[in-house]
């Protein structure tokens, strides 16, 4: 929670500053040279700062955090409409407060006498609808993924060194049969929601959801000073322990995961015609998937390659047990593996 709070606070500060700058530009476009430079800079900056503060606070602290569970019930179009109206209301409130602060408004009647009010709200609505639409698209494909498509980073295939973690839910078939497929989908969705904070804290990336499996990744450079994947696993375990009563009450089932971790080189690039996505290909992907299967043989929830573990320091509450060299299905050479144990208390 702390990581998400500070991350969102940084976004709020950034968008508040951007709002002040945009407010100056909007004010100048309305009054031009008819007002003293100091006056329109003051009015525009005040309006923009307050609007940016209110809208950004709503987006990052309420829409995308505190109210996220509630807003997830809305369908795509309804959510865009709801948030667009909310943004316009916040823009109106911020603009009105700004005008009172700068002395442009003297009383409530001044609001209705403002000849720019209707134009400002109309342009605000025209602006927030596409912005809201883009934000929802980002929720669908991810901010990093969208940035990579726009920048063309993977338009041409490239080789990268990465850490991958394949995480799978244990006993999924039995749970689904007992609680039903519809409730099981909500169960998996809740699990993915609960591990989000751990992903953010470790600066990991969700590459793909495959049924009840999630594939996560970290650039190799990110583990040079911090054992990010291990911290992620530890945070997930603690989070699930905290939410244990909620899972029992809602689903009468507890999520338990198996995870395989490995490091190596992959080829990354855009793929597809009707629907494009960024994919990672290579032996690393196949091997890491096999490590999840190796968890059963090892009697452990987490199996990690020696190549990766040798580059990481174990965080408190975590221990490693050598498994020796194992032959994995689909792989000719054997791989030295370790089983990781996660403390119940952290």
Tokens (6 digits) for 161: 């060194």
Answer whether 0.85 is exceeded by the pTM. no
pLDDT at site 3:
64
Please report the pLDDT score of residue 45 as a whole number.
82
CATH of the domain at 171: 3.30.70.1230
Kindly state whether residues 25 and 90 are assigned to the same domain.
yes
H/E element holding 222?
A: none
Q: How far is C-alpha 176 from the chain's CA centre?
A: 27
- C-alpha–C-alpha distance, residues 130 and 127, integer Å: 6
Are residues 32 and 176 part of one domain?
Answer: no
Domain co-membership, 311 together with 187: yes
Say yes or no: 117 and 242 in one domain. no
Task: State whether residue 35 is helix, strand or coil.
Answer: coil
**Are 171 and 134 in the same domain?**
no
Please give the pLDDT value at position 184: 95
Do residues 121 and 252 both lie within one domain? no
E strands, 96-177, are: 158-169
Question: How confident is the model over 239-283, as pLDDT tens digits?
Answer: 999 999 999 999 999 999 999 999 999 999 999 888 888 999 999
Q: Which residue, of 107, 141, 175, is where some domain finishes?
A: 141
42 to 48, 71, 101, 116, 123: CA distances (angstroms): 10, 36, 10, 17, 21
- Output the pLDDT for position 17: 86
Q: Which segments in the chain show pLDDT lower than 70?
A: 1-4, 29-38, 65, 116, 330-332, 344-346
Distance CA 254, CA 343 (A): 17
Q: Looking at the structure, tell me whether residues 20 and 126 fall in a common domain.
A: yes
**What pLDDT is stored for residue 174 in this prediction?**
94
The domain boundary residue, chosen from 141, 157, 191: 141
User: How many domains is the chain partitioned into structurally?
Assistant: 2
Do 180 and 268 reside in the same domain of the chain?
A: yes
The answer to whether residues 252 and 151 belong to one domain is yes
Regarding whether 130 and 216 lie in a shared domain, the answer is no
Domain boundary among 118, 141, 164: 141
Both 65 and 157 in a single domain?
A: no
To the nearest 10°, report the CA torsion of 285, 170, 314, 242. 130
Residue 313 sits in which domain range? Answer: 144-342
174 and 136 both lie in a single domain = no
Q: What is the pLDDT of residue 30?
A: 63
């Amino acid at each position: 929670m702390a990581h998400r709070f500070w991350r969102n606070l940084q976004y709020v500060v950034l968008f508040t500053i951007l709002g002040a700058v945009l407010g100056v530009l909007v004010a100048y476009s309305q009054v031009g040279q008819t007002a003293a430079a100091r006056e329109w800079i003051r009015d525009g900056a005040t309006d923009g700062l307050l609007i940016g503060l209110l809208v950004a606070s709503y987006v990052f602290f309420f829409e995308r955090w505190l109210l996220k569970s509630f807003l997830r019930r809305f369908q795509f179009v309804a959510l865009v409409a709801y948030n667009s109206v909310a943004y316009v209301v916040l823009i109106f409130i911020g603009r009105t407060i700004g005008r009172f602060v700068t002395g442009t408004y003297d009383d409530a009647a001044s609001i209705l006498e403002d000849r720019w009010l209707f134009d400002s709200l109309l342009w605000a609505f025209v602006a927030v609808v596409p912005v809201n639409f883009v934000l929802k698209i980002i929720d669908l494909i991810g901010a990093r993924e969208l940035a990579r498509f726009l920048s063309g980073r993977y338009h041409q295939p490239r080789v990268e060194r990465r850490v991958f973690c394949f995480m799978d839910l244990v006993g999924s078939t039995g749970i689904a049969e007992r609680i039903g497929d519809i409730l099981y989908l909500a169960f998996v969705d809740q699990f993915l929601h609960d591990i989000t904070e751990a992903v953010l804290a470790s600066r990991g990336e969700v590459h793909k959801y495959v049924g009840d499996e999630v594939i996560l990744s970290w650039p190799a450079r990110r583990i040079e000073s911090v054992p990010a994947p291990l911290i992620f696993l530890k945070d997930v375990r603690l989070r699930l322990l905290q939410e244990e009563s909620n899972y029992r009450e809602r689903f009468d089932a507890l999520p338990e995961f198996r995870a395989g971790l490995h490091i190596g080189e992959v080829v990354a690039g855009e793929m597809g015609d009707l629907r494009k996505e960024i994919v990672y290909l290579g032996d690393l992907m196949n091997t890491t998937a096999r490590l999840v299967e190796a968890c059963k043989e090892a009697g452990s929830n987490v199996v990690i390659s020696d190549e990766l573990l040798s580059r990481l320091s174990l965080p408190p509450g975590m221990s490693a047990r050598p498994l020796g060299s194992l032959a994995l299905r689909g792989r000719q050479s054997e791989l030295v593996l370790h089983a990781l144990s996660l403390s119940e208390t952290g």
